């Protein structure tokens, strides 16, 4: 069941989203060669708690950290640890926040130091794919119009879309209906209505779309070891243009 949010609920989700955005701004300022993902996790966790919010991910189905940090061939759900970032790495950071009972969720892929132009292009196309899909996040469109636009943009640029994981509805629960694939036929799926809140999140691989879950039970990597990037915003469907809830005011 898809839960339609009231204006009051959307305002709370906007506040949650702004905390997420502030946490990402902190990550962007902090990423450097030599910093560990464990240190990034500590910084973000302190930031979230200082804003009277709770990290959505910590303890979720047993996840041990407040953020997901996925480096290079890691697609999603990487667990922060003591290994320092190296020059040329790319790192996807996924942050979720619960504020006053409602969640916000967003991910970015960041370059570390001087990255290869090929890696930078992957990051750019992943972000652009999100905005290609966002054009269809409006009343009257169907859910898979978003999915198709993302997948079509990615494939036209020579990359592959991860099919094993999808975006999702979001609200009082971090994962709500509907599931939002990053591929699919246009004109299918539920018709979008004002008050729907969605976490749209392209996960894009340089090589095959096939992925593997590591022995830690969380970290998802590309099957062929190719680079992967991730970009996500929480958005709200309105009577007109969609609102991105996880961006700074």
- Kindly indicate the confidence band of residue 26, based on its pLDDT and cuts at 50, 70 and 90: very high
Q: Is residue 171 part of a domain?
A: yes
User: Looking at the domain assignment, is residue 71 inside a domain?
Assistant: yes
* 249 falls within a domain: no
Question: Terminus-to-terminus CA distance in the chain, angstroms?
Answer: 31
Domain-embedded: residue 139: yes
Q: Alpha carbon of 206 to those of 51, 73, 134, 136, 144: distances in Å?
A: 37, 9, 22, 25, 23
For residue range 72-129, list pLDDT tens digits in order. 999 999 999 999 999 999 999 999 999 999 999 999 999 999 999 999 999 999 999 9
Q: Which residues pair with 205 in a beta bridge?
A: 160, 228
Its pTM stands at 0.97
Task: Give the number of C-alpha atoms closer than 13 A to the C-alpha of residue 37, restricted to the C-beta side.
Answer: 23
Any idea what DSSP says for residue 142?
A: B
Strand arrangement of the beta sheet that strand 160-161 belongs to: 160-161, 203-205, 228-230
Q: Does the pLDDT of residue 19 top 80, yes or no?
A: yes
Q: How far apart are CA 167 and CA 183, in angstroms?
A: 11
Mean pLDDT of the chain: 98
**Contact status, residue 181 vs residue 147, Cβ threshold 8 Å:** yes
Instruction: Give residue for tokens 């929480």.
Output: 234
User: H helices within the chain, ranges in order?
Assistant: 7-30, 37-50, 117-134, 143-156
Tokens, residue 7: 């204006």
CATH, residue 211: 3.90.230.10
The number of domains in the chain is 1
Q: Is residue 103 included in any domain, yes or no?
A: yes
Statement: residue 201 has pLDDT above 80: yes
Displacement of CA 116 from its chain's centroid (Å): 23
Between 74 and 249, the higher pLDDT residue: 74
Domain range spanning residue 12?
A: 7-244
Task: Give the bridge partners for 106, in sequence order.
Answer: 95
Q: Is residue 23 part of a domain?
A: yes
Residue 158 — pLDDT band, cuts 50, 70, 90? very high
Report whether pLDDT(1) > 90: yes
Tens digit of pLDDT for each residue in 27-55? 999 999 999 999 999 999 999 999 999 99
Q: Is 249's pLDDT higher than 80?
A: no
């Amino acid at each position: 069941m898809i839960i339609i949010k009231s204006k009051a609920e959307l305002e709370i989700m906007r506040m949650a989203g702004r905390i997420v955005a502030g946490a990402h701004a902190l990550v962007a300022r902090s990423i450097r060669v030599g910093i560990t993902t464990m240190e990034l996790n500590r910084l973000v966790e302190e930031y979230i708690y200082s804003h009277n919010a709770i990290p959505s991910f910590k303890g979720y189905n047993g996840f041990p950290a407040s953020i997901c940090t996925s480096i290079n061939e890691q697609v999603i759900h990487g667990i922060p640890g003591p290994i320092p970032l190296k020059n040329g790495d790319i790192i996807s950071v996924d942050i979720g926040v619960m504020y006053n009972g409602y969640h916000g969720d967003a991910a970015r892929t960041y370059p570390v130091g001087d990255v290869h132009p090929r890696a930078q292009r992957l990051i750019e196309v992943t972000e652009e794919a999100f905005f290609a899909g966002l054009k269809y996040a409006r009343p009257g469109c169907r859910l898979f119009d978003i999915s198709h636009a993302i997948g079509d943009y990615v494939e036209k640029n020579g990359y592959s879309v991860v099919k094993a994981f999808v975006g999702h509805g979001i609200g009082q629960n971090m994962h709500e209906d509907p599931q939002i694939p990053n591929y699919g036929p246009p004109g299918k799926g539920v018709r979008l209505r004002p008050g729907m809140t969605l976490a749209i999140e392209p996960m894009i691989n340089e090589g095959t779309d096939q992925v593997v879950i590591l022995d830690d039970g969380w970290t998802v990597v590309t099957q062929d070891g190719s680079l992967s990037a991730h970009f996500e915003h929480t958005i709200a469907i309105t009577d007109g243009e969609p609102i991105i809830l996880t961006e700074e005011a």
